Chains A and B, each alone.
Chain A
């Protein structure tokens, strides 16, 4: 009887903890929403997004430069990362000899494990001077190097492991028979990859890209360290920018000293959460479907 009791007890307890962990995301969203209400009641939501005036002490909360900064730097990172990562994933899944694949995949994992502060540090030490002393002079602009471009490059390297490892796995779920049929009809390896494997794997590849995107969208420290943090809409790749996560990280100290400031920053956190949760859930559902079909 004792054993059975224990079994039932642990069952109930584990159920409660499972429920709790399943609802953490909702609890976070609810709390952030509650804290955002004061600012949403005072300032219409479109004005929050479209105004460029950021003067918290005078009650002006315009998120436009931060939203644009976040979108630009994420977009740039994705533009840099997507082609390179997908080509790498195709190489690893379709072309690479087993040994090469076995050597490179752990390196990709290692890259995924590098803390964002170290990525930022590396950006400050290498990318920022590179842009200031070598890239910008070629184009004929002068810049401190702390710029949209620096943020984009650092972020691209941070999202690369996610896109590579997820899409590589997706490529490998494409049935051999399909590729073999194409090869038997006389198609080259690349034609097979392009017309069969890539087409079949497309939803999964998009999901991988979306996962990378949402990682980049919420990334804080590395971006904070190399982006320059100027609350103005950047006009070129060499201008500094400011992102929503960096805004939160830089200002939490004064959060309680100015009225509505906390509400404004937590609204920013809510925006980040909503965007990231939406894209993440979408990508996960697509990947789950693929996984189900392949097993």
Chain B
């Protein structure tokens, strides 16, 4: 066989090997977390808050963290959605192809890359200045800022795909820019917007480094916006850090819960995309 053919085969094998490593590592992550966590997973873990001595291996569960994460991420996603929808309205309805719009897009891309620990530290300084305690409210602000670029850029991309003829048709019927955006462009981009929201929600649930400073941690479910709130990632982190084996096992089980949440959000977003695409004018 000639050298070129040999090279072809060699690299093709390498590519297949690389792809299998990538897919394999995903499988290993799932298998390891599920195998290690499953024995400690129980109904009580999902439905109870930590009782006295929980962190010494006694009774209780991580309902505080599950509920906390869901509340925190919902609040943050709502906040981020409201802000990002306004940014989108500006970018698509009012800004046109200006340099300033390019600058905002670039700046949001850069914000997307800012490490969440830096974001957490930033909010922490602000909290320190106004003497605020770590609470759900500050957690929502932090995760909201974290999700803002994800939501805005994802929605921005889908809105760009709206056929310009559709928009012109709307204008020619006498709609204002705002009406066109809300009734035509946003409706046309609805599947993409839903996907973006679910994606951002998943990121919000999974992030730990930024809420370490800002949301605090507590064994109860928060009853007001200014109570501290527990989150699932931090529950995993703290439980893993204890020297007691039973508690560490619960960290593994909490890992399953978090993985399952994120996975179902990802599947849901795929489903939403497929389902709602049917209502789009192509």
Residues of chain A at the chain B interface (Cβ within 8 Å) = 3-4, 6-7, 10-11, 13-15, 17-19, 21-26, 28, 31-32, 35, 83-85, 87-88, 90-92, 95-96, 104, 106-111, 113-122, 124-126, 157, 160, 164, 188-191, 193, 211, 214-215, 217-221, 225, 245, 248-249, 252, 256, 265-266, 269, 272-273, 276-277, 280-281, 284-285, 288
Contacts and interface: CB of A to CB of B under 8 A. Distances in A.
A24 to B, nearest CB: 6
Interface residues of B, number: 87
Contacts of A265: 121
B91 A18 contact: yes
B276 interface: no
A7 B177 contact: yes
A84 B23 CA distance: 11
Contacts of A104: 19, 23
Interface stretch (B27-35, B42-50, B56-64, B162-170): B27-35
A28 B119 CA distance: 8
Q: Is the interface of A mostly helix, strand, loop or mixed?
A: helix
A218 B114 contact: yes
A21 B22 contact: no
A132 B46 CA distance: 33
A191 to B, nearest CB: 7
Contact of A115 (B107, B109, B113, B262): B262
Contacts, number: 259
8 contacts: A17-B86, A91-B15, A91-B19, A114-B259, A116-B208, A118-B236, A245-B115, A280-B109
B86 A124 contact: no
A281 B121 contact: no
A31 B122 contact: yes
Contacts of B207: 115-116
A126 B31 CA distance: 10
Contact of B115 (A14, A211, A272): A272
Contacts of B245: none
Interface of B: 4-5, 7-8, 11-12, 14-19, 21-23, 25-26, 28-29, 32-33, 36, 83-84, 86-87, 89-91, 93-95, 103-104, 106-119, 121-122, 124-126, 128, 145, 148-149, 152, 176-179, 199, 202-203, 205-209, 212-213, 233-234, 236-237, 240, 251-252, 255, 258-259, 262-263, 265-266, 270
Given A117-B237, A277-B113, A277-B114, A284 B209 contact: no
Contacts of B115: 217-220, 245, 272-273, 276
Given A10-B178, A21-B152, A160-B22, A215 B15 contact: no
Contacts of A84: 18, 21-22
A23 to B, nearest CB: 7
Q: Which of A11, A95, A191 has the most CB of B within 10 A?
A: A11
A116 to B, nearest CB: 7
A255 B192 CA distance: 42
A221 B208 contact: yes
A285 B236 CA distance: 37
